[in-house]
Structure 1
């Protein structure tokens, strides 16, 4: 224990790994990052993950753009991420909270059609009727994409923009519902050879 108090924080963050199933994965990852406008978030990459921190709207906007630009290459791309907002485990350093709320990448990627499958788990921490919150947000996700149950998670299928927008909305609603520390884990797969049937968004 550090002895630091856990103050109210609006700093959001995501720690993610993106894996293009290709020999030129480095070029795909770098290209996706270069095509995305990340000027409103703090970004740090190490040998395990990339971490993006800032306002919630910009954290989701930047991660969504990076994934879409990697997936549009047609290569099978896997994305593993943990989103978090709230204390503990956060600090006020290395974050751009003075930015406005206008997402930088939304207009650029809005017309890119990309089918994806995903699984997510939502964790409203800090007490309360957390299962009611989880069930309510899973129901809300159905407005965006196809939803089905899975072991330890909820499965999503559809347009990748709809998936990310749905994830952002349920995360935001959980925070606004009073969760003092909200965590969400996400796995997304695009262009997988195991996707069956016709692409439903074509």
Structure 2
């Protein structure tokens, strides 16, 4: 599968920076880490209702975008910036937290349902499509399913952070492979082969 990624979006609750470091903000926190690795900064742009930066991987320019909104209404800002830059939905990579994976597991996915993720639901509604790339970062599930809201809005434990940060490093390498080679399967094989290595 040939894959042209032109924009990477990090999901999170980004109003007033109140939720930085929480499980639900892992997508936007990931983009902050990525920007630091490439020594670039985000700029708040009002017309997009979000924060924008860009990186270059080889000759490819990639827009980084963090919506300045709550995660469950992030679809509209993403739609606006994609329309402005004429970026097709299939050329967007969405990074988000994933309850179904334990901390330390990160996987690519293309298409499919939202899995109940409110941010993805809103994106699918705004674009009227579910055909986009995702990078799902595992955060695990609480023992009490009734406390999911409290769980995603709280910070990971120290050991969970170590596992997540270790996995993020591997995923950045996989991201480079995806963009450099445009080979989705090659990026998947690299990333998924690295999963669980923190625990060994």
- What TM-score comes out, normalization by structure 2 length? 0.27
Bigger-Rg structure (1/2): 1
The structure whose residues are more often helix, as a share, is: 2
Give TM-score, length-normalised by structure 1. 0.27
Structure with more strand by fraction? 1
